[in-house]
Amino acid sequence: MIGFRIAELQRRVAAHWVEKFLAIPVANISDVMARMSAGGAALRPMHAGGALAGPAFTVKTRPGDNLMVHKAIAMAQPGDVIVVDAGGDLTNAIIGEIMTSTAKRRGIAGFVINGAIRDLGTISKDSFPVYAAGVTHRGPYKDGPGEINAPVSLGGMVVAPGDLVLGDEDGLLSIPYAEVEAVHAAAQAKNELEARMLADIANSVLDTAWIDQALARLQCEFVK
């Protein structure tokens, strides 16, 4: 049935790429992706801290309903990130302590919920990664419909099943499966550049000539 179906995940970003990206801030990765992709400022880390990385196991569900999320937890493999598009609605929580505990026990890498969660008191004290748009005590329904392993959209960022999902304190980013290697090479170079800049700042030798060069190129007027 269209809108109510489950598919197996056909491809996953390899585990060695997941490990490599964990060492690079999301902001630096975003910079080399032309700053054009983001999960939206509403999706914030709800856990105690720590980065998120893993292949996307996607769920699209009716707002306020988590039947397909329960099924996704049972289907996903260790290391997967369960990415749920619940329409951004905050009326009913999609997951809480029971589901996060189950997912953690199964080796799931974390949750991204474009919707609400509950049991924040417990989730916020744990390092298990949970990103969500809000919090409510109101529980979910379990009637469907929904889809598992179909493309979803988070704040305009399209996430296909098996894409690499990353998250840290600055927010969420998804890298298309076919672009992971190229993005890593560029992001690693960006990370090394920023490390050199920070060292120059510490030694008071940072070159800022580019600022006046940019102002001249843009024909900024200086008034005395």
Q: Where residue 122 falls among pLDDT bands split at 50, 70, 90?
A: very high
Residue 193 belongs to a domain: no
> Binding residue per annotation — 99?
yes
Is 119 annotated as belonging to a binding site? yes
- The tokens 């990206």 sit on which residue? 21
Residue 65 within any structural domain of the chain? yes
pTM of the model: 0.94
143 is in an annotated binding site: no
Residue 69, class by beta-carbon neighbours within 10 Å (0-12 exposed, 13-18 middle, 19+ buried)? buried
- Is position 173 within any domain? yes
CATH number, domain of 40, equals 3.50.30.40
Q: How many domains does the chain have?
A: 1
| pLDDT for 224 beyond 90 | no
Distance of CA 161 to the CA centre of its chain: 13
Q: Which residues pair with 130 in a beta bridge?
A: 111
Smallest CA-to-CA distance from 62 within 139, 132, 4, 138 is with 4
Residue 216, in any domain of the structure: no
Confidence band for 1, pLDDT divided at 50, 70 and 90: confident
**pLDDT for the residue numbered 137:** 98
Torsional class of 30: left (φ above 0), alpha (ψ -120 to 50), beta (otherwise): alpha
The verdict on whether residue 98 carries a ligand-binding annotation is yes
Taking only the tens place, the pLDDT of each residue in 15-73 is 999 999 999 999 999 999 999 888 888 999 999 999 999 999 999 999 999 999 999 99
For position 163, what pLDDT does the model report? 98
Please state, in angstroms and as integers, the Cα–Cα distance from residue 123 to each residue in 49, 50, 126, 148, following that order. Answer: 10, 13, 5, 24
Write down the pLDDT at residue 37: 86
Domain boundaries, position 90 = 5-185
User: DSSP H helical segments within the chain, as ranges?
Assistant: 15-21, 26-32, 67-75, 97-105, 120-123, 180-202, 209-217
Report which of 142, 52, 62, 148 is spatially closest to residue 104, judged by C-alpha positions.
52
Q: Using one digit for the tens of pLDDT, what is the confidence trace for 139-196? A: 999 999 999 999 999 989 999 999 999 999 999 999 999 999 999 999 999 999 999 9
- What was the pLDDT predicted at 118? 98
